[in-house]
Amino acid sequence: MIYKVNRPDPIEKSRNEHSSKIIADARIMWLGLFVLGLGFGVVVVERGLPWWFALLTSTFILAGSLEFVLAGLVTLHSSLISIAVITLLVNSRHIFYSLSFPIETHEGTIAKAYSAFSMVDEAYALVAIGGEGRLRGRQLIKVQVGLHGSWAAGATIGALLGDLIPKSLTGFGFVLTALFVVLSIDSALDSKDLTTGVIATLVAIAAFVLAPNSMLIVAITSFFILLISKEAVRERLGNRSVGSKG
C-alpha cells in the first residue's frame, strides 16, 4: 500500500508566516487606537456631551479624526449640510483606499459590508504592506474587528472615567505614527519597485509645502494620478518593445 504524503506548499507557508507577522503588528495598532480612543472620550465629556456620544460615534461612525471634528460641530450646533461637507472632505481619502482593498476575499454580503465600513487608515496600511501574503478573508476581518473594538472601548472608557484620565499622555500619541513609518520602510525594503516609494515621498513633501492645510487629499490625488501615468508609460514602452521585436 502506498501512502501519499501531503507536503506543505512553500509559497502558501510563506504567505501564512507573513500574514502572522502583520497580525502581530496589528496588535500594536490596537493598543495605539485604544489610547487615542481614551483621548477622544475625554474630549467628548469636556465639550459637555454625554458619555454615550463617544460610544455611539466610535461604534457606528468609526472615523477617527472625523469624530473629534464631529464632537466640536455638534457642540456648535452646526447644520447637517456643514457636517456632510466636512465629512466628505476629511474622509475623501477612502475613495482611493477602496480601489485596492481586498473586499472580494470575503464570503457573504455581511462580511463585505462590515469590511468596507471598517476600512480605516490602519486597516488599509496593514493590507498595503502585505504583498503576496497580505491580509484577506477571515484574517482581515479579525484585524478590523480588533481595530474597531479597541477604538470603541477606549472612547467609551475615556468618556466614563473623564477627569481620572490625564489630559496629556505624552508619547502615546506617537505610537501609530511611528508604526506607520516602520511599515512604510518594511514595504519599501520588500518591494522591487523603489520608484513608487520615491514618488510617494516627493509628492508628500510637495503637498506639505504647497498645501499644508489640505496635505492629505492633495498628496493622495497627486500620487494616484502620477501612479496611473507611470503605469501607462510603462505599458506603452512595453508594447513598443514587443512591436520592435516582432
- Percentage with pLDDT > 70 across the chain: 75
If asked whether residues 139 and 29 sit together in one domain, one would say yes
If asked whether residues 101 and 71 sit together in one domain, one would say yes
The whole-number pLDDT of residue 213 equals 78
If asked whether residues 46 and 139 sit together in one domain, one would say yes
Extract the residue ranges of the chain whose pLDDT is less than 50: 1, 3, 5, 11
The whole-number pLDDT of residue 174 equals 63
The whole-number pLDDT of residue 57 equals 94
In a domain, 153, yes or no: yes
Domain region containing 149: 11-185
If asked whether residues 96 and 179 sit together in one domain, one would say yes
The 3-class secondary structure across the chain, one letter per residue, is: CCCCCCCCCHHHHHHHHHHHHHHHHHHHHHHHHHHHHHHHHHHHHHCCCCHHHHHHHHHHCCCCHHHHHHHHHHHCCCCHHHHHHHHHHHHCCHHHHCCCCCHHHCCCHHHHHHHHHCCCHHHHHHHHCCHHHCCCHHHHHHHHHHHHHHHHHHHHHHHHHHHHCCCCCCCHHHHHHHHHHHHHHHHHHHCCCHHHHHHHHHHHHHHHHHCHHHHHHHHHHHHHHHHHHHHHHHHHHHHHHHHHHC
In a domain, 165, yes or no: yes
If asked whether residues 181 and 201 sit together in one domain, one would say no
If asked whether residues 150 and 229 sit together in one domain, one would say no
If asked whether residues 132 and 221 sit together in one domain, one would say no
**Domain endpoint, select from 150, 168, 185:** 185
In a domain, 2, yes or no: no
If asked whether residues 164 and 225 sit together in one domain, one would say no
pLDDT in tens, 137-159: 888 898 999 999 999 999 999 99
In a domain, 51, yes or no: yes
In a domain, 140, yes or no: yes
**Domain endpoint, select from 139, 162, 185:** 185
If asked whether residues 78 and 154 sit together in one domain, one would say yes
In a domain, 3, yes or no: no
If asked whether residues 203 and 181 sit together in one domain, one would say no
The whole-number pLDDT of residue 11 equals 46
If asked whether residues 15 and 94 sit together in one domain, one would say yes
Stated pTM of the model: 0.69
In a domain, 1, yes or no: no
Q: State how many domains the chain has.
A: 2
In a domain, 76, yes or no: yes
**Domain endpoint, select from 154, 185, 216:** 185
pLDDT in tens, 36-67: 888 889 889 888 899 999 999 999 998 887 88
If asked whether residues 181 and 197 sit together in one domain, one would say no
